[in-house]
A and B are shown apart, each in its own frame.
Chain A
Protein backbone atom coordinates (compact mmCIF):
# COMPACT_ATOMS: atom_id res chain seq x y z
CA UNK A 1 0.00 0.00 0.00
CA UNK A 2 2.68 2.41 1.07
CA UNK A 3 4.89 1.41 -1.80
CA UNK A 4 2.11 1.79 -4.28
CA UNK A 5 1.31 5.21 -2.93
CA UNK A 6 4.93 6.23 -3.10
CA UNK A 7 5.31 5.05 -6.64
CA UNK A 8 2.24 7.00 -7.65
CA UNK A 9 3.79 10.13 -6.24
CA UNK A 10 7.07 9.36 -7.94
CA UNK A 11 5.30 8.80 -11.22
CA UNK A 12 3.56 12.14 -10.86
CA UNK A 13 6.78 13.93 -10.09
CA UNK A 14 8.58 12.26 -12.97
CA UNK A 15 5.78 13.08 -15.38
CA UNK A 16 6.18 16.65 -14.32
CA UNK A 17 9.85 16.87 -15.14
CA UNK A 18 9.95 16.88 -18.91
CA UNK A 19 12.86 16.45 -21.29
CA UNK A 20 15.56 19.04 -21.66
CA UNK A 21 14.41 21.90 -23.79
CA UNK A 22 16.16 21.87 -27.14
CA UNK A 23 17.17 25.26 -28.49
CA UNK A 24 15.98 24.79 -32.04
CA UNK A 25 12.90 26.95 -31.92
CA UNK A 26 12.46 30.40 -30.43
CA UNK A 27 13.78 31.14 -26.95
CA UNK A 28 11.31 29.50 -24.61
CA UNK A 29 11.17 27.66 -21.30
CA UNK A 30 8.08 25.62 -20.52
CA UNK A 31 7.96 25.75 -16.74
CA UNK A 32 5.20 23.20 -16.39
CA UNK A 33 7.39 20.60 -18.01
CA UNK A 34 10.21 21.21 -15.61
CA UNK A 35 13.71 22.16 -16.68
CA UNK A 36 16.78 20.10 -16.10
CA UNK A 37 19.33 22.21 -17.93
CA UNK A 38 19.11 25.91 -17.02
CA UNK A 39 19.09 28.29 -19.96
CA UNK A 40 22.37 30.25 -20.30
CA UNK A 41 22.01 34.02 -20.43
CA UNK A 42 24.32 37.05 -20.32
CA UNK A 43 23.65 40.37 -18.62
CA UNK A 44 26.49 42.80 -19.31
CA UNK A 45 26.65 45.78 -16.98
CA UNK A 46 23.98 48.31 -18.01
CA UNK A 47 25.07 51.45 -19.85
CA UNK A 48 25.37 54.53 -17.67
CA UNK A 49 23.79 57.39 -19.62
CA UNK A 50 24.44 60.00 -16.99
CA UNK A 51 27.59 60.69 -15.02
CA UNK A 52 26.32 59.56 -11.64
CA UNK A 53 24.76 56.28 -12.76
CA UNK A 54 27.89 54.14 -13.15
CA UNK A 55 27.62 52.13 -9.93
CA UNK A 56 23.89 51.76 -10.29
CA UNK A 57 24.29 50.50 -13.85
CA UNK A 58 26.40 47.67 -12.54
CA UNK A 59 24.21 46.94 -9.48
CA UNK A 60 21.04 46.81 -11.58
CA UNK A 61 22.51 44.22 -13.91
CA UNK A 62 23.58 42.13 -10.89
CA UNK A 63 20.08 42.12 -9.37
CA UNK A 64 18.56 41.15 -12.73
CA UNK A 65 21.05 38.27 -12.97
CA UNK A 66 20.37 37.14 -9.37
CA UNK A 67 16.61 37.15 -9.96
CA UNK A 68 16.96 34.98 -13.04
CA UNK A 69 19.49 32.58 -11.51
CA UNK A 70 17.30 32.25 -8.40
CA UNK A 71 14.52 30.67 -10.43
CA UNK A 72 16.70 27.66 -11.20
CA UNK A 73 15.64 28.04 -14.82
CA UNK A 74 18.58 30.16 -15.92
CA UNK A 75 22.36 30.03 -15.72
CA UNK A 76 24.56 33.08 -16.10
CA UNK A 77 27.46 33.17 -18.53
CA UNK A 78 30.08 35.13 -16.59
CA UNK A 79 31.43 38.44 -17.90
CA UNK A 80 34.92 36.93 -18.04
CA UNK A 81 33.72 34.80 -20.98
CA UNK A 82 32.38 37.74 -22.99
CA UNK A 83 33.87 38.35 -26.46
CA UNK A 84 31.83 41.46 -27.21
CA UNK A 85 31.30 44.36 -24.91
CA UNK A 86 28.15 46.42 -25.11
CA UNK A 87 29.16 50.06 -25.23
CA UNK A 88 26.00 51.54 -26.72
CA UNK A 89 22.45 50.52 -25.82
CA UNK A 90 21.28 51.28 -29.37
CA UNK A 91 24.15 49.70 -31.31
CA UNK A 92 23.46 46.44 -33.23
CA UNK A 93 24.18 43.28 -31.24
CA UNK A 94 27.03 41.05 -32.41
CA UNK A 95 25.03 37.83 -32.22
CA UNK A 96 27.96 35.64 -33.30
CA UNK A 97 29.99 36.73 -30.29
CA UNK A 98 27.22 35.78 -27.86
CA UNK A 99 26.45 32.58 -29.74
CA UNK A 100 30.10 31.58 -29.48
CA UNK A 101 29.90 31.62 -25.67
CA UNK A 102 26.51 29.89 -25.77
CA UNK A 103 24.58 32.78 -24.19
CA UNK A 104 21.14 31.94 -25.50
CA UNK A 105 19.54 35.04 -24.03
CA UNK A 106 21.15 38.46 -23.83
CA UNK A 107 19.80 41.27 -21.66
CA UNK A 108 21.11 44.77 -22.25
CA UNK A 109 20.18 47.89 -20.36
CA UNK A 110 20.81 51.57 -19.91
CA UNK A 111 20.49 53.76 -16.82
CA UNK A 112 19.87 57.44 -16.44
CA UNK A 113 19.91 59.15 -13.06
CA UNK A 114 18.61 62.68 -12.70
CA UNK A 115 18.36 63.93 -9.14
CA UNK A 116 16.54 61.13 -7.36
CA UNK A 117 14.77 59.98 -10.49
CA UNK A 118 15.94 56.79 -12.07
CA UNK A 119 15.22 55.66 -15.62
CA UNK A 120 16.03 52.13 -16.70
CA UNK A 121 15.74 50.80 -20.24
CA UNK A 122 16.33 47.24 -21.29
CA UNK A 123 16.25 44.94 -24.31
CA UNK A 124 16.09 41.15 -24.48
CA UNK A 125 17.71 39.27 -27.39
CA UNK A 126 17.18 35.70 -28.56
CA UNK A 127 20.79 35.10 -29.56
CA UNK A 128 20.31 31.89 -31.53
CA UNK A 129 17.41 33.35 -33.53
CA UNK A 130 19.38 36.56 -34.00
CA UNK A 131 16.45 38.75 -33.04
CA UNK A 132 15.10 40.90 -30.26
CA UNK A 133 12.46 39.15 -28.13
CA UNK A 134 9.70 41.65 -27.59
CA UNK A 135 10.47 45.33 -27.75
CA UNK A 136 12.56 47.42 -25.42
CA UNK A 137 10.90 48.71 -22.27
CA UNK A 138 11.58 51.61 -19.95
CA UNK A 139 10.83 51.93 -16.23
CA UNK A 140 11.00 55.03 -14.09
CA UNK A 141 11.21 55.34 -10.36
CA UNK A 142 13.21 56.79 -7.54
CA UNK A 143 16.86 55.99 -6.94
CA UNK A 144 15.82 54.59 -3.50
CA UNK A 145 13.69 52.04 -5.28
CA UNK A 146 16.42 50.98 -7.73
CA UNK A 147 16.10 47.30 -6.82
CA UNK A 148 12.45 47.41 -7.86
CA UNK A 149 13.53 48.68 -11.31
CA UNK A 150 15.87 45.71 -11.60
CA UNK A 151 13.11 43.32 -10.48
CA UNK A 152 10.78 44.80 -13.10
CA UNK A 153 13.38 44.19 -15.82
CA UNK A 154 13.89 40.62 -14.60
CA UNK A 155 10.12 40.06 -14.43
CA UNK A 156 9.79 41.15 -18.06
CA UNK A 157 12.67 38.88 -19.14
CA UNK A 158 11.29 35.92 -17.19
CA UNK A 159 7.82 36.53 -18.50
CA UNK A 160 8.90 36.75 -22.16
CA UNK A 161 10.94 33.58 -22.00
CA UNK A 162 8.58 31.44 -19.89
CA UNK A 163 5.21 32.85 -20.91
CA UNK A 164 4.36 33.05 -17.19
CA UNK A 165 3.79 36.14 -15.08
CA UNK A 166 6.79 37.43 -13.16
CA UNK A 167 7.20 37.50 -9.39
CA UNK A 168 10.39 39.41 -8.59
CA UNK A 169 8.85 42.83 -7.93
CA UNK A 170 7.06 41.58 -4.84
CA UNK A 171 7.41 41.59 -1.07
CA UNK A 172 7.07 39.10 1.76
CA UNK A 173 5.63 39.77 5.19
CA UNK A 174 6.59 37.20 7.80
CA UNK A 175 7.22 36.51 11.48
CA UNK A 176 10.79 37.22 12.56
CA UNK A 177 11.98 34.99 15.39
CA UNK A 178 14.76 35.20 17.96
CA UNK A 179 15.55 33.34 21.16
CA UNK A 180 15.38 29.72 22.24
CA UNK A 181 12.34 27.53 21.68
CA UNK A 182 11.00 28.02 25.22
CA UNK A 183 11.43 31.78 25.13
CA UNK A 184 10.92 32.74 21.52
CA UNK A 185 10.33 36.37 20.60
CA UNK A 186 8.27 37.12 17.54
CA UNK A 187 7.67 40.27 15.53
CA UNK A 188 6.43 41.06 12.05
CA UNK A 189 8.98 41.71 9.33
CA UNK A 190 8.52 42.84 5.75
CA UNK A 191 11.09 42.59 2.98
CA UNK A 192 11.52 42.28 -0.76
CA UNK A 193 10.96 38.74 -2.05
CA UNK A 194 14.76 38.23 -2.13
CA UNK A 195 15.30 39.37 1.47
CA UNK A 196 16.49 42.88 0.64
CA UNK A 197 15.11 46.04 2.31
CA UNK A 198 13.99 44.27 5.47
CA UNK A 199 11.99 46.29 7.99
CA UNK A 200 10.22 45.31 11.21
CA UNK A 201 6.58 46.26 11.70
CA UNK A 202 5.95 45.38 15.34
CA UNK A 203 7.84 45.11 18.62
CA UNK A 204 8.54 41.64 19.94
CA UNK A 205 6.70 42.08 23.24
CA UNK A 206 3.82 39.76 22.38
CA UNK A 207 3.30 36.76 20.14
CA UNK A 208 2.38 37.58 16.55
CA UNK A 209 1.34 34.95 14.02
CA UNK A 210 0.61 34.43 10.36
CA UNK A 211 0.54 37.86 8.67
CA UNK A 212 -1.38 37.90 5.35
CA UNK A 213 -1.23 40.53 2.61
CA UNK A 214 -4.30 42.27 1.28
CA UNK A 215 -4.94 41.75 -2.46
CA UNK A 216 -3.50 45.20 -3.21
CA UNK A 217 -0.49 44.63 -0.95
CA UNK A 218 -1.08 47.76 1.15
CA UNK A 219 -2.48 46.12 4.32
CA UNK A 220 -1.64 43.08 6.42
CA UNK A 221 -3.89 40.93 8.58
CA UNK A 222 -2.27 39.12 11.48
CA UNK A 223 -2.95 37.54 14.84
CA UNK A 224 -1.47 39.04 17.99
CA UNK A 225 -1.63 38.17 21.68
CA UNK A 226 -1.01 41.79 22.71
CA UNK A 227 -4.41 42.02 24.43
CA UNK A 228 -3.56 38.85 26.36
CA UNK A 229 -5.69 36.74 24.03
CA UNK A 230 -5.29 35.97 20.33
CA UNK A 231 -7.05 38.62 18.27
CA UNK A 232 -6.96 39.64 14.63
CA UNK A 233 -5.44 42.98 13.67
CA UNK A 234 -5.22 44.84 10.39
CA UNK A 235 -2.18 47.01 9.73
CA UNK A 236 -1.66 49.67 7.10
CA UNK A 237 1.87 48.99 5.89
CA UNK A 238 2.62 52.54 4.81
CA UNK A 239 1.78 54.17 8.15
CA UNK A 240 2.34 51.02 10.29
CA UNK A 241 -0.90 51.93 12.09
CA UNK A 242 -3.09 49.06 13.19
CA UNK A 243 -6.44 48.28 14.72
CA UNK A 244 -8.05 45.21 16.23
CA UNK A 245 -10.49 43.71 13.80
CA UNK A 246 -12.05 40.97 15.83
CA UNK A 247 -11.85 39.82 19.40
CA UNK A 248 -15.09 39.48 21.31
CA UNK A 249 -14.71 39.03 25.04
CA UNK A 250 -14.13 35.38 25.93
CA UNK A 251 -13.31 34.25 22.40
CA UNK A 252 -10.13 33.73 20.41
CA UNK A 253 -9.79 34.62 16.75
CA UNK A 254 -6.95 33.75 14.39
CA UNK A 255 -6.01 32.49 10.90
CA UNK A 256 -7.36 35.51 8.97
CA UNK A 257 -7.14 36.02 5.21
CA UNK A 258 -8.55 38.67 2.91
CA UNK A 259 -11.09 37.94 0.22
CA UNK A 260 -9.92 38.86 -3.32
CA UNK A 261 -11.93 42.09 -3.06
CA UNK A 262 -10.11 43.08 0.12
CA UNK A 263 -13.48 43.93 1.72
CA UNK A 264 -14.03 40.71 3.63
CA UNK A 265 -11.88 38.69 6.01
CA UNK A 266 -12.33 34.97 6.51
CA UNK A 267 -10.98 33.64 9.82
CA UNK A 268 -11.32 31.15 12.65
CA UNK A 269 -13.05 31.91 15.90
CA UNK A 270 -12.91 29.70 18.98
CA UNK A 271 -15.78 29.86 21.38
CA UNK A 272 -16.49 27.36 24.13
CA UNK A 273 -13.51 25.31 22.93
CA UNK A 274 -14.94 24.87 19.45
CA UNK A 275 -13.29 26.44 16.40
CA UNK A 276 -15.33 27.38 13.33
CA UNK A 277 -14.94 29.60 10.27
CA UNK A 278 -16.48 33.06 9.98
CA UNK A 279 -16.30 35.99 7.63
CA UNK A 280 -16.28 39.65 8.60
CA UNK A 281 -16.80 42.82 6.64
CA UNK A 282 -13.62 44.84 7.18
CA UNK A 283 -15.40 48.17 7.50
CA UNK A 284 -18.67 47.35 9.25
CA UNK A 285 -17.27 44.56 11.43
CA UNK A 286 -20.38 42.53 10.72
CA UNK A 287 -19.62 38.80 10.89
CA UNK A 288 -21.22 35.69 9.41
CA UNK A 289 -20.68 32.15 10.64
CA UNK A 290 -19.84 29.76 7.78
CA UNK A 291 -19.34 26.43 9.57
CA UNK A 292 -21.12 25.06 12.61
CA UNK A 293 -19.79 21.70 13.72
CA UNK A 294 -18.16 20.39 16.92
CA UNK A 295 -14.94 19.67 14.96
CA UNK A 296 -12.05 22.07 14.33
CA UNK A 297 -12.42 24.17 11.19
CA UNK A 298 -9.55 26.55 10.48
CA UNK A 299 -6.96 27.88 7.98
CA UNK A 300 -9.47 29.17 5.40
CA UNK A 301 -8.30 30.55 2.04
CA UNK A 302 -10.39 32.07 -0.79
CA UNK A 303 -10.37 31.02 -4.42
CA UNK A 304 -9.02 33.83 -6.67
CA UNK A 305 -12.57 34.59 -7.89
CA UNK A 306 -13.82 34.80 -4.31
CA UNK A 307 -16.59 32.24 -4.86
CA UNK A 308 -15.17 29.38 -2.78
CA UNK A 309 -13.10 28.74 0.34
CA UNK A 310 -10.66 25.90 0.97
CA UNK A 311 -10.05 25.06 4.63
CA UNK A 312 -8.98 22.28 6.98
CA UNK A 313 -11.24 20.31 9.29
CA UNK A 314 -10.80 17.29 11.57
CA UNK A 315 -14.46 16.25 11.23
CA UNK A 316 -13.35 12.94 9.71
CA UNK A 317 -11.14 12.22 12.73
CA UNK A 318 -8.01 14.01 11.57
CA UNK A 319 -7.03 17.09 9.57
CA UNK A 320 -8.19 17.01 5.95
CA UNK A 321 -8.89 19.62 3.28
CA UNK A 322 -12.37 20.73 2.25
CA UNK A 323 -13.84 23.19 -0.21
CA UNK A 324 -17.09 25.06 0.37
CA UNK A 325 -18.97 27.99 -1.10
CA UNK A 326 -17.80 31.40 0.13
CA UNK A 327 -21.22 31.72 1.77
CA UNK A 328 -20.90 28.43 3.65
CA UNK A 329 -22.94 25.30 3.10
CA UNK A 330 -21.95 21.66 2.78
CA UNK A 331 -18.23 21.29 2.05
CA UNK A 332 -16.59 18.74 -0.23
CA UNK A 333 -13.58 16.85 1.04
CA UNK A 334 -10.67 16.99 -1.41
CA UNK A 335 -7.74 15.28 0.38
CA UNK A 336 -7.74 11.49 0.65
CA UNK A 337 -4.10 10.46 0.86
CA UNK A 338 -2.30 8.99 3.82
CA UNK A 339 -1.59 11.31 6.74
CA UNK A 340 -2.98 14.70 7.69
CA UNK A 341 -3.43 17.81 5.58
CA UNK A 342 -3.53 21.39 6.83
CA UNK A 343 -2.95 25.08 5.97
CA UNK A 344 -4.41 24.97 2.44
CA UNK A 345 -3.76 27.99 0.23
CA UNK A 346 -5.47 28.53 -3.09
CA UNK A 347 -3.07 29.31 -5.93
CA UNK A 348 -3.47 32.83 -7.38
CA UNK A 349 -3.96 31.09 -10.76
CA UNK A 350 -6.78 29.03 -9.33
CA UNK A 351 -5.41 25.73 -10.58
CA UNK A 352 -3.84 24.26 -7.44
CA UNK A 353 -3.99 24.27 -3.67
CA UNK A 354 -0.76 24.21 -1.65
CA UNK A 355 -0.83 22.54 1.76
CA UNK A 356 1.17 21.19 4.68
CA UNK A 357 1.09 17.41 4.97
CA UNK A 358 2.04 15.47 8.08
CA UNK A 359 2.72 11.78 7.62
CA UNK A 360 4.75 9.25 9.57
CA UNK A 361 6.48 11.88 11.66
CA UNK A 362 7.57 13.98 8.66
CA UNK A 363 6.19 17.20 7.25
CA UNK A 364 5.80 18.07 3.59
CA UNK A 365 4.76 21.02 1.50
CA UNK A 366 2.64 19.78 -1.37
CA UNK A 367 0.24 20.82 -4.09
CA UNK A 368 -2.88 19.18 -5.51
CA UNK A 369 -5.66 20.09 -7.88
CA UNK A 370 -8.89 21.37 -6.38
CA UNK A 371 -10.55 18.00 -6.89
CA UNK A 372 -7.75 16.40 -4.87
CA UNK A 373 -6.08 14.79 -7.89
CA UNK A 374 -2.42 15.00 -8.90
CA UNK A 375 -1.10 15.37 -5.37
CA UNK A 376 2.60 16.22 -5.44
CA UNK A 377 4.84 16.50 -2.40
CA UNK A 378 7.51 19.16 -3.02
CA UNK A 379 9.52 18.95 0.22
CA UNK A 380 10.17 16.70 3.19
CA UNK A 381 11.70 17.52 6.57
CA UNK A 382 11.26 17.36 10.31
CA UNK A 383 8.88 20.34 10.10
CA UNK A 384 7.87 22.19 6.94
CA UNK A 385 4.84 24.40 7.27
CA UNK A 386 2.73 27.27 6.00
CA UNK A 387 3.07 27.57 2.20
CA UNK A 388 2.47 30.88 0.41
CA UNK A 389 2.27 31.40 -3.34
CA UNK A 390 4.42 33.65 -5.51
CA UNK A 391 2.21 36.06 -7.47
CA UNK A 392 2.55 33.89 -10.60
CA UNK A 393 1.48 30.67 -8.88
CA UNK A 394 4.67 28.85 -9.90
CA UNK A 395 6.81 29.15 -6.76
CA UNK A 396 5.98 28.51 -3.12
CA UNK A 397 7.65 29.92 0.00
CA UNK A 398 7.32 28.18 3.37
CA UNK A 399 8.96 27.87 6.80
CA UNK A 400 11.22 25.02 7.87
CA UNK A 401 11.95 24.40 11.55
CA UNK A 402 14.92 22.28 12.53
CA UNK A 403 14.75 19.54 15.11
CA UNK A 404 15.80 19.47 18.75
CA UNK A 405 16.54 21.83 21.60
CA UNK A 406 18.40 24.26 19.32
CA UNK A 407 15.70 24.12 16.67
CA UNK A 408 15.12 27.29 14.66
CA UNK A 409 12.84 28.33 11.84
CA UNK A 410 13.82 29.82 8.49
CA UNK A 411 12.24 30.48 5.10
CA UNK A 412 12.69 28.49 1.90
CA UNK A 413 11.27 28.62 -1.59
CA UNK A 414 10.62 25.77 -3.99
CA UNK A 415 8.97 25.62 -7.40
CA UNK A 416 5.82 23.64 -8.01
CA UNK A 417 7.67 20.79 -9.64
CA UNK A 418 9.59 20.33 -6.36
CA UNK A 419 12.82 21.64 -7.86
CA UNK A 420 15.05 24.52 -6.90
CA UNK A 421 14.66 24.38 -3.10
CA UNK A 422 16.40 27.52 -1.82
CA UNK A 423 16.83 29.30 1.50
CA UNK A 424 15.39 32.80 1.63
CA UNK A 425 17.64 35.34 3.33
CA UNK A 426 16.24 36.90 6.52
CA UNK A 427 18.10 38.84 9.26
CA UNK A 428 16.82 36.54 12.03
CA UNK A 429 14.90 33.30 12.25
CA UNK A 430 11.65 33.44 10.28
CA UNK A 431 8.28 31.72 9.91
CA UNK A 432 4.78 32.25 8.50
CA UNK A 433 5.71 33.94 5.19
CA UNK A 434 3.05 35.65 3.09
CA UNK A 435 3.94 36.64 -0.46
CA UNK A 436 2.48 39.89 -1.79
CA UNK A 437 0.94 40.33 -5.22
CA UNK A 438 3.18 41.98 -7.84
CA UNK A 439 3.68 45.59 -6.83
CA UNK A 440 1.88 48.30 -8.80
Chain B
Protein backbone atom coordinates (compact mmCIF):
# COMPACT_ATOMS: atom_id res chain seq x y z
CA UNK B 1 0.00 0.00 0.00
CA UNK B 2 2.77 2.40 0.98
CA UNK B 3 4.69 1.54 -2.15
CA UNK B 4 1.65 2.18 -4.30
CA UNK B 5 1.15 5.53 -2.62
CA UNK B 6 4.75 6.55 -3.20
CA UNK B 7 4.44 5.52 -6.81
CA UNK B 8 1.24 7.46 -7.18
CA UNK B 9 2.84 10.54 -5.65
CA UNK B 10 5.74 10.28 -8.02
CA UNK B 11 3.59 9.93 -11.09
CA UNK B 12 1.35 12.74 -9.91
CA UNK B 13 4.36 14.98 -9.36
CA UNK B 14 5.64 14.22 -12.84
CA UNK B 15 2.23 14.84 -14.31
CA UNK B 16 1.90 18.15 -12.50
CA UNK B 17 5.23 19.35 -13.81
CA UNK B 18 4.18 18.30 -17.30
CA UNK B 19 0.97 20.22 -17.15
CA UNK B 20 2.49 23.66 -17.44
CA UNK B 21 3.72 22.75 -20.89
CA UNK B 22 1.57 23.56 -23.88
CA UNK B 23 -1.08 20.91 -24.19
CA UNK B 24 -4.35 20.20 -25.87
CA UNK B 25 -6.20 22.76 -23.84
CA UNK B 26 -3.43 25.25 -24.40
CA UNK B 27 -3.82 24.75 -28.10
CA UNK B 28 -7.24 26.34 -27.76
CA UNK B 29 -5.53 29.70 -27.92
CA UNK B 30 -4.93 28.84 -31.55
CA UNK B 31 -6.03 32.26 -32.75
CA UNK B 32 -2.43 33.20 -31.98
CA UNK B 33 -1.08 31.46 -35.04
CA UNK B 34 -3.25 33.59 -37.29
CA UNK B 35 -2.41 36.71 -35.33
CA UNK B 36 1.29 36.16 -35.83
CA UNK B 37 1.09 36.29 -39.60
CA UNK B 38 -1.23 39.24 -39.64
CA UNK B 39 0.81 41.29 -37.24
CA UNK B 40 4.10 40.67 -38.98
CA UNK B 41 2.64 41.46 -42.34
CA UNK B 42 0.87 44.68 -41.49
CA UNK B 43 2.95 46.38 -38.83
CA UNK B 44 6.39 45.06 -39.62
CA UNK B 45 7.38 45.52 -35.98
CA UNK B 46 8.99 42.30 -34.87
CA UNK B 47 9.69 43.35 -31.30
CA UNK B 48 6.03 43.97 -30.51
CA UNK B 49 3.90 41.56 -28.58
CA UNK B 50 1.06 40.14 -30.59
CA UNK B 51 -2.17 40.82 -28.73
CA UNK B 52 -3.91 37.61 -27.73
CA UNK B 53 -0.86 35.47 -28.36
CA UNK B 54 0.86 33.41 -25.72
CA UNK B 55 3.48 36.17 -25.61
CA UNK B 56 0.85 38.68 -24.58
CA UNK B 57 0.81 38.45 -20.76
CA UNK B 58 -2.79 39.65 -20.71
CA UNK B 59 -4.04 36.87 -23.00
CA UNK B 60 -5.86 33.72 -22.01
CA UNK B 61 -3.29 31.80 -24.05
CA UNK B 62 -0.57 33.18 -21.79
CA UNK B 63 -2.66 32.19 -18.76
CA UNK B 64 -3.02 28.64 -20.08
CA UNK B 65 0.55 28.13 -21.16
CA UNK B 66 2.80 30.34 -19.07
CA UNK B 67 0.85 30.50 -15.81
CA UNK B 68 -0.71 27.04 -16.05
CA UNK B 69 -4.49 26.72 -16.10
CA UNK B 70 -4.79 23.49 -14.12
CA UNK B 71 -3.84 21.66 -10.99
CA UNK B 72 -3.84 17.89 -10.49
CA UNK B 73 -5.00 15.76 -7.58
CA UNK B 74 -4.14 12.44 -6.00
CA UNK B 75 -6.59 9.53 -6.14
CA UNK B 76 -9.80 10.41 -4.28
CA UNK B 77 -8.23 13.59 -2.94
CA UNK B 78 -9.25 17.19 -3.23
CA UNK B 79 -6.35 18.62 -1.23
CA UNK B 80 -4.05 20.94 -3.14
CA UNK B 81 -0.47 19.79 -3.60
CA UNK B 82 2.50 22.15 -3.13
CA UNK B 83 2.90 22.30 -6.89
CA UNK B 84 -0.81 22.99 -7.24
CA UNK B 85 -0.65 25.85 -4.74
CA UNK B 86 2.29 27.33 -6.58
CA UNK B 87 0.35 27.22 -9.87
CA UNK B 88 -2.64 28.82 -8.16
CA UNK B 89 -0.45 31.58 -6.69
CA UNK B 90 0.41 32.43 -10.27
CA UNK B 91 -3.24 32.22 -11.34
CA UNK B 92 -4.27 34.52 -8.47
CA UNK B 93 -1.61 37.12 -9.36
CA UNK B 94 -2.65 37.00 -12.98
CA UNK B 95 -6.36 37.31 -12.20
CA UNK B 96 -5.68 40.28 -9.91
CA UNK B 97 -3.69 41.99 -12.68
CA UNK B 98 -6.20 41.15 -15.39
CA UNK B 99 -9.29 42.09 -13.48
CA UNK B 100 -11.66 42.09 -16.45
CA UNK B 101 -11.54 38.30 -16.68
CA UNK B 102 -13.93 35.96 -14.94
CA UNK B 103 -13.24 32.29 -14.51
CA UNK B 104 -15.14 29.02 -14.33
CA UNK B 105 -13.22 26.36 -12.45
CA UNK B 106 -13.95 22.91 -13.87
CA UNK B 107 -13.51 19.94 -11.53
CA UNK B 108 -12.82 16.50 -13.01
CA UNK B 109 -12.27 12.94 -11.84
CA UNK B 110 -10.68 9.88 -13.41
CA UNK B 111 -12.85 6.99 -14.64
CA UNK B 112 -12.24 4.87 -11.55
CA UNK B 113 -15.32 5.72 -9.60
CA UNK B 114 -19.08 5.79 -9.83
CA UNK B 115 -20.67 8.57 -11.84
CA UNK B 116 -22.50 10.42 -9.09
CA UNK B 117 -19.64 10.25 -6.62
CA UNK B 118 -17.24 11.59 -9.22
CA UNK B 119 -19.45 14.61 -9.86
CA UNK B 120 -19.38 15.37 -6.14
CA UNK B 121 -15.62 14.75 -6.03
CA UNK B 122 -15.02 17.05 -9.02
CA UNK B 123 -17.01 19.73 -7.20
CA UNK B 124 -14.77 19.34 -4.15
CA UNK B 125 -11.69 19.78 -6.33
CA UNK B 126 -13.05 22.84 -8.12
CA UNK B 127 -14.03 24.33 -4.78
CA UNK B 128 -10.56 23.75 -3.33
CA UNK B 129 -9.17 25.82 -6.20
CA UNK B 130 -11.86 28.47 -5.87
CA UNK B 131 -11.29 28.85 -2.14
CA UNK B 132 -7.54 29.08 -2.60
CA UNK B 133 -7.87 31.79 -5.25
CA UNK B 134 -10.25 33.70 -2.99
CA UNK B 135 -7.76 33.40 -0.13
CA UNK B 136 -5.22 35.02 -2.43
CA UNK B 137 -7.47 38.00 -2.96
CA UNK B 138 -9.44 37.12 -6.11
CA UNK B 139 -13.02 38.34 -5.61
CA UNK B 140 -15.43 35.43 -5.27
CA UNK B 141 -17.81 37.20 -7.66
CA UNK B 142 -15.37 36.47 -10.51
CA UNK B 143 -15.20 32.73 -9.86
CA UNK B 144 -17.72 29.99 -10.53
CA UNK B 145 -17.31 26.25 -10.28
CA UNK B 146 -18.69 23.33 -12.26
CA UNK B 147 -18.02 19.62 -11.95
CA UNK B 148 -17.91 17.22 -14.87
CA UNK B 149 -17.12 14.19 -12.76
CA UNK B 150 -15.67 11.54 -15.08
CA UNK B 151 -17.56 12.83 -18.14
CA UNK B 152 -14.74 14.82 -19.75
CA UNK B 153 -11.43 12.95 -19.63
CA UNK B 154 -8.59 14.46 -21.68
CA UNK B 155 -6.52 11.27 -21.62
CA UNK B 156 -8.09 7.99 -22.64
CA UNK B 157 -5.85 5.16 -21.47
CA UNK B 158 -6.91 3.12 -18.46
CA UNK B 159 -3.66 3.56 -16.58
CA UNK B 160 -2.46 5.81 -13.83
CA UNK B 161 -0.48 7.92 -16.31
CA UNK B 162 -3.79 9.01 -17.85
CA UNK B 163 -5.82 9.00 -14.64
CA UNK B 164 -3.32 11.41 -13.07
CA UNK B 165 -3.95 13.97 -15.80
CA UNK B 166 -7.71 13.51 -15.68
CA UNK B 167 -7.92 14.20 -11.92
CA UNK B 168 -7.78 17.93 -12.45
CA UNK B 169 -9.29 21.32 -11.85
CA UNK B 170 -8.99 23.66 -14.82
CA UNK B 171 -9.43 27.41 -14.52
CA UNK B 172 -11.21 28.47 -17.72
CA UNK B 173 -11.22 32.20 -18.43
CA UNK B 174 -14.19 34.09 -19.72
CA UNK B 175 -14.49 37.72 -20.77
CA UNK B 176 -11.50 40.03 -21.09
CA UNK B 177 -11.69 40.20 -24.88
CA UNK B 178 -13.52 43.50 -25.06
CA UNK B 179 -10.97 45.52 -23.15
User: Which A residues lie at the B interface, using CB under 8 A?
Assistant: 180-182, 184, 207, 209-210, 225, 228-230, 250, 252, 254-255, 268, 270, 272-275, 296, 298-299, 312, 314, 318-319, 342-343, 356, 358, 361, 382-383, 385-386, 401, 403-405, 407, 432
Q: Which residue of B lies closest to A294 (CB)?
A: B124
Additional pairs, 8, CB under 8 Å, beyond known A207-B151, A312-B116: A181-B156, A252-B147, A268-B116, A273-B123, A299-B116, A319-B114, A356-B114, A358-B112
> Per-residue 0/1 for B106-130: is the Cβ within 8 Å of any A Cβ (1 yes, 0 no)?
0000011111110111011011101
Residues of A within 8 Å of B130, CB to CB, are 273
Residues of A within 8 Å of B43, CB to CB, are none
Q: Which residue of A lies closest to B107 (CB)?
A: A273
Is B146 on the interface with A (CB-CB < 8 A)? yes
Distance between Cα atoms of A343 and B145 in the complex (Å): 24
| Closest CB in chain A relative to B154 CB, distance in Å | 6
- Whether B151 lies near A342 (C-beta < 8 A) is no
| Closest CB in chain A relative to B103 CB, distance in Å | 14
Q: Decide yes or no: A275 and B114 within 8 Å by CB, A207-B151, A250-B144, A405-B156 being known contacts.
A: no
User: Which B residues lie at the A interface, using CB under 8 A?
Assistant: 76, 78, 111-117, 119-121, 123-124, 126-128, 130-131, 144-148, 151-158
Q: Decide yes or no: A275 and B120 within 8 Å by CB, A181-B153, A229-B146, A382-B158 being known contacts.
A: yes
Residues of A within 8 Å of B157, CB to CB, are 404-405
Residues of B within 8 Å of A407, CB to CB, are 111, 156, 158
- Whether B156 lies near A358 (C-beta < 8 A) is no
Main secondary structure of the interface of B (DSSP, over half): mixed
Distance between Cα atoms of A250 and B130 in the complex (Å): 13
Distance between Cα atoms of A296 and B153 in the complex (Å): 22
Distance between Cα atoms of A401 and B150 in the complex (Å): 13
Residues of B within 8 Å of A404, CB to CB, are 156-158
Q: Which residue from B116, B127, B154 sits with its C-beta under 8 Å from A182?
A: B154
Distance between Cα atoms of A382 and B157 in the complex (Å): 13
Q: Can you report 19 residue pairs joining A to B where beta carbons are below 8 Å apart? A: A181-B156, A182-B152, A182-B154, A209-B151, A210-B115, A254-B116, A254-B119, A268-B120, A270-B120, A270-B147, A296-B124, A299-B116, A312-B117, A318-B76, A319-B114, A343-B114, A343-B115, A358-B113, A404-B156
| Closest CB in chain A relative to B135 CB, distance in Å | 14
Residues of A within 8 Å of B154, CB to CB, are 182
Q: Would you list the 4 A-B pairs with minimal beta carbon distance, nearest first?
A: A273-B127, A275-B120, A342-B114, A296-B120
